Amino acid sequence: MSDTVQTIASPPFAPAYVELMDSGTLAQRASVAWRHMENCDLCARYCHVNRLQSVAGAVCRTGARALVHSFGPHHGEENPLRGKRGSGTIFFSWCNLRCVFCQNWDISQRGLGREIEPEQLAGMMLSLQAQGCHNINLVSPSHVVAQIIRAVAIAAPQGLRLPLVYNTGGYDSPEALALLDGIVDIYMPDMKYGDSKLARRYSKVRDYVEVNRAAVREMYRQVGDLRLDRQGVAQRGLLVRHLVLPGDIAGTEQVLAFLAREISPHTYLNLMDQYYPCYRAADYPPLQRRVSAAEYRHAVALATRFGLYRLDPRQRRPDLWDSADN
């Protein structure tokens, strides 16, 4: 018998939706999701509008066709998403939140973009794959879950094989997440607040914390901790964003404690420092100023205290580290 040890290569990565496609379940899931728009419960607003007939009464102002503002490779995302070739972002117009400090308010609140059919959305996904992107990054997707699933059901038989990133504000319904189970590989929710009363004031939604935490629990149940390939590119798992806000409006301590204690200390976390006043922030003190060095350092110290060690190593604002506290 030979003493040679054979190394069995790991099978190449395949996104979760390929298995659903092969079983015939993906097309069925797309049909079921589309019917949800007849009495819409596809985000936690629960407008129950028939979006196939009218957008009147729908907070998202989106009917059967998704609106897309832009799409293309994005090199400014988290390290495991952008890799060397960029994250294939698709920016959807409108949003199910009404954040008074939104940095993309022209897209989320004015709805700048163009209506597209699911076939066109599928074409965008395939184009991003052809450009070499590492993933399909669906930005503000909560109100267009049905359109996304239908597009994936069209693109997958044509060769789409990139993981889907569900890049959400975190106000997602369990009904939508059930439809996405086995389709999304990487969930990237915001955890914006630790206090629902503040969420009501600054993002105009009820029960944000309760809805958000339930959503993050379900996302983690579906995909687990973030897993990377040998090049450090994300393949599957949970990645959480938390934007530090002035005056601790975001409730950073409550958010990080929840992640460490109720999700996983291995959670990949982007503790974001890039808040700046825009849109209607000047009308809501202390949102009229940037985050101070002391505030951001305190947020990092909290992450360390709670044992959250997988912090995205991004280039931070120099003034947060190189100048005196302001």
Q: Is 16 helix (H, G, I), strand (E, B) or coil?
A: helix
Q: Is 186 helix (H, G, I), strand (E, B) or coil?
A: strand
pLDDT one digit per residue (tens) for the chain, 326 residues: 444 444 455 578 899 999 999 999 999 999 999 999 999 999 999 999 999 999 999 999 999 999 999 999 999 999 999 999 999 999 999 999 999 999 999 999 999 999 999 999 999 999 999 999 999 999 999 999 999 999 999 999 999 999 999 999 999 999 999 999 999 999 999 999 999 999 999 999 999 999 999 999 999 999 999 999 999 999 999 999 999 999 999 999 999 999 999 999 999 999 999 999 999 999 999 999 999 999 999 999 999 999 999 999 976 777 776 544 44
Cβ neighbours of 231 (radius 10 Å): 9
| Closest C-alpha to 212, from 303, 107, 96 | 96
What topology is assigned to 65-321 in CATH? TIM Barrel (3.20.20)
Long-range contacts of 69-72 (CB under 8 A, 24+ apart): 69/93, 69/107, 69/112, 69/113, 70/113, 71/124, 71/127, 71/128, 72/128, 72/131
Structure-block tokens of residue 290: 């940037």
pLDDT for 3 equals 44
Q: Categorise residue 270: left if φ over 0, alpha if ψ from -120 to 50, beta otherwise.
A: beta
- Residue 155 neighbours by CB under 8 Å, 6+ apart: 122, 123, 125, 126
Q: Is 108 exposed, middle or buried (0-12, 13-18, 19+ CB in 10 A)?
A: buried
pLDDT for 84 equals 96
pLDDT for 80 equals 97
Tracing tokens 């709670």 back to the chain, one arrives at 306
Structure-block tokens of residue 43: 């985000």
DSSP structural state of residue 110: T
Given a contact cutoff of 8 angstroms between Cβ atoms, the answer to whether 256 and 293 are in contact is no
Q: Say how many CA atoms lie within 13 Å of 234 toward its Cβ.
A: 32
Structure-block tokens of residue 98: 């009404």
